[in-house]
């Protein structure tokens, strides 16, 4: 199984090869290729091995070496959990966000005699995402009345994510969702969106 570093290095190599190909095309390109001779020779790209964007990617690769401690995580999919644990030393790995919030025994400490051995701890940066299914534009019944609220996975956002934010006492939080999260709740609604409802539900506690 490839690590994140190996995957990133492979992506950088592919990006460098693309830059080289564009540079070679620029070198053989003639002025007559342009639509207007008055415009002069306009290169398709100025990308070289010293390209700022490539340097930007390389700096982010180096940033992967920034030391950090992964206090806890939760993921219902066993394969995804395995990938995460292969690449990061996670202290507590739970099967669901609700189990993580409630501080239940995690999958790494199932034999722990202390029922409170895996508490959710406040951290400097909390990053999480919730299921996109209830909010996705690709779902056929997305804009039917009450379709979002009645979706079985909606409570992960409106209950668990709310608890993660309110109870976690984390210094900084990044929550990921699809664009449909901030689109109208239903076809008959012009103001309310799931995201606004979510923010409204937690703002009173912050």
Q: What is the pLDDT of residues 126-170, one digit of tens each?
A: 999 999 999 999 999 999 989 999 999 999 999 999 999 999 999
pLDDT of residue 131: 95
pLDDT above 60 (res 71): yes
Question: In which band, very low, low, confident or very high, does the pLDDT at 75 lie, cut at 50, 70 and 90?
Answer: very high
Per-residue burial over 7-39, b if 16 or more Cβ lie within 10 Å, else e, is ebeeeeeebbeebeebbeebeeeeeeeeeeeee
Locate 147 and state its tokens. Answer: 């379709």
Residues 6+ apart with CB under 8 A from 74: 93, 94, 95, 96, 97, 99, 100
Q: What number is the average pLDDT over the span 80-96?
A: 92
Longest pairwise C-alpha distance within the chain: 80
pLDDT above 60 (res 82): yes
- For residue 79, give the H/E element and its range: helix 78-87
* DSSP secondary structure letter of residue 78: H
pLDDT above 80 (res 84): yes
More confident residue, 191 or 46: 191
Average pLDDT of the chain to the nearest whole number: 82
Return the percentage of the chain with pLDDT > 90, whole number: 51
pLDDT of residue 40: 43
Cα separation, 157 vs 45, whole angstroms: 43
Question: In which band, very low, low, confident or very high, does the pLDDT at 187 lie, cut at 50, 70 and 90?
Answer: confident
Q: Are 185 and 193 in contact (CB under 8 A)?
A: yes
């Amino acid at each position: 199984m490839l690590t994140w570093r190996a995957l990133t290095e492979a992506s950088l190599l592919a990006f460098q090869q693309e830059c080289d190909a564009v540079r070679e095309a620029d070198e053989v390109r003639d002025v007559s290729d342009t639509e207007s001779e008055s415009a002069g020779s306009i290169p398709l790209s100025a990308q070289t091995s010293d390209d700022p964007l490539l340097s930007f990617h390389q700096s982010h690769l180096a940033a992967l070496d920034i030391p950090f401690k992964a206090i806890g995580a939760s993921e219902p999919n066993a394969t995804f959990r395995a990938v995460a644990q292969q690449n990061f030393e996670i202290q507590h790995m739970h099967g669901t966000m609700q189990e993580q919030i409630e501080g239940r025994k995690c999958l790494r400490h199932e034999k722990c005699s202390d029922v409170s051995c895996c508490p959710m701890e406040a951290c400097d940066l909390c990053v999480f995402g919730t299921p996109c299914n209830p909010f996705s534009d690709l779902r056929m019944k997305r804009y039917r009345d009450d379709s979002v609220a009645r979706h079985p996975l909606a409570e992960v956002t409106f209950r668990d994510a709310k608890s993660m934010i309110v109870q976690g006492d984390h210094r900084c939080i990044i929550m990921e969702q699809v664009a449909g999260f901030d689109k109208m709740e239903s076809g008959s609604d012009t103001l309310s969106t799931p995201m606004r409802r979510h923010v409204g539900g937690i703002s009173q506690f912050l």
